[in-house]
Structure 1
Amino acid sequence: MKTDDTSSSLAPHPERPLLYSSPQILARRRRLLKEARRMLAEDGIDGFSIRKLCQRAEVAQRTLYNAFHNKDRLIALAIREAFDEYSAFVRQSSDTVSVKGWLSRTVSINRRNFHVRNYTTAVCALYFAPGTARDVFETLLDMSLRGNLTWLEQRRGDIGDWIDLPHFARSLADVQYATINDWCLGRTPDERYLPSLVENMLMMLVGAVQGSLAEEAAELLAELETTGTIASIADMSVPRVTPRKPSA
């Protein structure tokens, strides 16, 4: 269990790295992050209000800006905190070496997005916004980059020598975010979201790997194109989503 605000390398404030770390200040940071996560899930990034957040967290706006510098940084930290908590659980229950394990973990994490569509839209909005600060962007990029790079490093012997692993992991992250963003914007229907995500990842993988790994990836891609799903990985159907009750 984390004892600080976040496990991300993103500093809460770029110019004031935890100058004040009293129990009261840390408690206020935690309340702000907790309420920010709730507000993103309820109203998305367009309906996100600093004034409303401070009211709900019972924190002065001046305190918020002293702690987090600006709204984008606060949102990025809240997003990263939620991602770390959920993905830690997924990693413990998934095979981390095979193609199926890699895809299963990705599907499990993205299947949750059906329940937090507003929240996911906020992630993509920050990722693709041209004005997002570099360190804020990089902490969002790392959410996808780290898992892909770790898996690619485990399979280095099956990947062509001409492939630069960090560059390939970044390309996979961009494809994942682009696919998610298309779903958030309504360009991809719900039933195609997860199959499209898996298809795009497999098509990139097939062009970069060799040997038995290439054969496994090609077989999975053929199964997906034939049946619309891959029965041996995580459930790719659209989950039943209970509408969120309006906040008081």
Structure 2
Amino acid sequence: MLAEARRMIAEGGLENFSIRKLCQRADVAQRTFYNAYESKDRLIALAIREAYDDFQKFISYRTDPFSLEGVIDRTLSTNRRNFKVRNYTKAIVSIYFSSTTSNDIWKTIQDMTQTGWADWFKVLKEQGLFKEWAEPDRVANEMANLQYSIISDWCLGRLPDEEYLSALFTATLTILIGATKGEVADKAEEMLQTFHISCKLPEFPKPAGRVDGKEISD
């Protein structure tokens, strides 16, 4: 059912997704579905998370995940892929901002963005490169909320394609400049100043990997 749900989301997004259609395509009874997943949102969250995890485990980045360059590289690379999976992206932000989404489903989606930031922020805290007042988990939570908000604006057409990555990039660096100190804050400010002068996003070695036996790159 998860595999079929992923195909349906990719084909038609959430607006065309229904449990009845899913059960017909997966050849299972609706009672079987509800016994296994309880609700449509829970299934969709699991399907989206599974798709994310399946892709990420085959990707090999060439930048250090615990560096400013590494986190910006991953942020830009992940969101460039959103251009290719718009329906998945719309489904993610729709569930994330829905008032009816249960907390555990919301947390499943938030962790896709929040966990990597929290891990790096904790390392910075230990190295004395995080502001004294800043708590790693709280700032990571705020980073996830900010990024999903920008992604939502793009999905809703409020932010054109050509401004999407730039908006995400500048907002991310703004939070980092506020929460970090020392060489990390200096590098973040320098990166932001360079962008405002050149209007060009930084470039990193393209991540590569294999999915379904095929070579892939961002």
TM over 0.5: yes
Choose 151-160 or 197-206, whichever is displaced more: 151-160
What amino acid does structure 2 have at the position aligned with 1:183? W
1:43 equivalent in structure 2? 12
Indicate if the aligned counterparts of 1:206 and 1:217 stay in contact, CA closer than 8 A.
Answer: yes
Deviation of 1:92 after TM superposition, in Å, equals 5.0
Cα displacement string for residues 137-188 of structure 1 (whole angstroms, at most 9, x for unaligned residues): 1111111110110111222221111111110000000001001000000011
- 2:163 matches 1:192: yes
Matched, 1:111 2:109: no
Question: How far apart, CA to CA, are the structure 1 residues paired with 2:151 and 2:56?
Answer: 17
Q: In structure 2, what residue type is equivalent to 1:96?
A: P
Contact 1:100 1:232 in 2 (8 A): no
Query: C-alpha distance in 2, partners of 1:223/1:208?
Result: 20
Aligned counterpart in structure 2 of residue 129 of structure 1, from 94, 98, 103: 98
**Correspondence 1:139 to 2:115:** no
1:87: Cα distance to partner? 2.4
CA contact (8 A) 1:33 1:78 kept: yes
**Which of residues 188, 193, 203 is equivalent to 2:174?**
203
Q: Cα offset for 1:69?
A: 0.3
Distance 1:74 1:54 in 2: 12
Aligned to 2:200: 229
- The separation in 2 between residues aligned to 1:111 and 1:99, in whole angstroms, is 18
**Does the Cα contact within 8 Å between 1:126 and 1:132 map onto a contact in 2?**
yes
Give 1:129 deviation, angstroms: 0.3
Q: Does 1:220 align with 2:191?
A: yes
Per the alignment, residue 52 of structure 2 pairs with 83
Q: Is the 8 A contact 2:63 2:69 kept in 1?
A: no
Confirm or deny: 8 A CA contact 1:40 1:118 kept in the other structure.
Answer: yes
**2:137 — aligned with what?**
166
Q: Measure the CA separation in 1 of the matches of 2:60 and 2:118.
A: 14
Structure 2 unpaired stretches of 5+: 207-218
Cα displacement (A) at 1:108: 1.1
* Distance in 1 between residues matched to 2:69 and 2:132, nearest whole Å: 23
* Structure 1 spans left out of the alignment, 5+ residues: 1-31, 236-248
Letter in 2 for 1:148: W
| C-alpha distance in 2 between matches for 1:118 and 1:223 | 33
Give the drift of 1:124.
0.2
Contact 1:172-1:204 at 8 Å conserved across structures: yes
Amino acid of the structure 2 residue aligned with 1:226: I
Report % sequence identity. 47
Output the TM-score relative to the length of structure 1.
0.79
Residue deviations 1:175-224 (CA, integer Å, cap 9, x gap) = 01001000000011111111111111000110111111111000111122
> How far apart, CA to CA, are the structure 1 residues paired with 2:133 and 2:205?
31
Aligned CA distance change for structure 1 residues 75 and 234 (closer, same or farther; 3 Å): farther
CA contact (8 A) 1:103 1:233 kept: no
Distance 1:79 1:101 in 2: 24
The TM-score normalised by the length of structure 2 is 0.89
Residue-pair matches, total: 204
Partner of 1:180: 151
Give the structure 2 partner of residue 59 of structure 1: 28
Q: Residues 76 and 233 from structure 1, CA distance in 2 versus in 1: closer, same or farther, beyond 3 angstroms?
A: same
Displacement of 1:91 in angstroms is 5.7
Q: Which residue of 1 aligns with 2:213?
A: none
Structure 1, residues 45-99: CA drift from partner, whole Å, max 9, x if none? 1110111111111111111111000100000000111111222334654421221
